[in-house]
């Protein structure tokens, strides 16, 4: 379904506020918390590696996407952090080139 002009404008404004929103959220995180990392064996990847084969096909229902499996999640999120890393690298390159 297409967005109305008002909804499109609201989303554009929300997107425009994104960098300030992220900066404010990060500013509220104490330095000690920013240094924290999961211990060995505590990350999601560790759990995914241990997931039995039959679990990958089990389906649930996502409110926006409909039918959703662990494989669907993996397809999306395996690339998700890579996309953000490329965004950071591009932003850094643009900043250095200014």
Q: What is the pLDDT of residues 2-61, one digit of tens each?
A: 889 999 999 889 989 988 998 898 888 888 888 888 787 777 888 888 889 999 889 999
- Domain span at 26: 1-36
What are the tokens at 46? 């560790």
What is the rounded CA–CA span in Å between residue 14 and residue 12?
A: 5
Shared domain check, 53 and 27: no
Residue 67 to residue 40: CA distance in whole angstroms: 32
Assess whether 82 and 42 both reside in one domain: yes
Q: Considering its fold, how many domains does the chain have in total?
A: 2
Indicate whether 94 and 55 sit together in one domain.
yes
Residues 12 and 44 reside in one and the same domain: no
């Amino acid at each position: 379904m297409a967005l109305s002009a008002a909804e499109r404008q609201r989303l554009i404004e929300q997107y425009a506020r994104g960098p300030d929103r992220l900066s404010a959220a990060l500013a509220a995180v104490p330095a000690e918390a920013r240094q924290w990392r999961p211990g060995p064996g505590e990350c999601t990847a560790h759990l995914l590696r241990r997931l039995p084969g039959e679990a990958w096909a089990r389906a649930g229902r996502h409110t926006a996407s409909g039918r959703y499996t662990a494989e669907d999640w993996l397809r999306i999120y395996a690339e998700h952090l890579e996309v953000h890393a490329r965004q950071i690298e591009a932003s850094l390159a643009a900043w250095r080139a200014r």
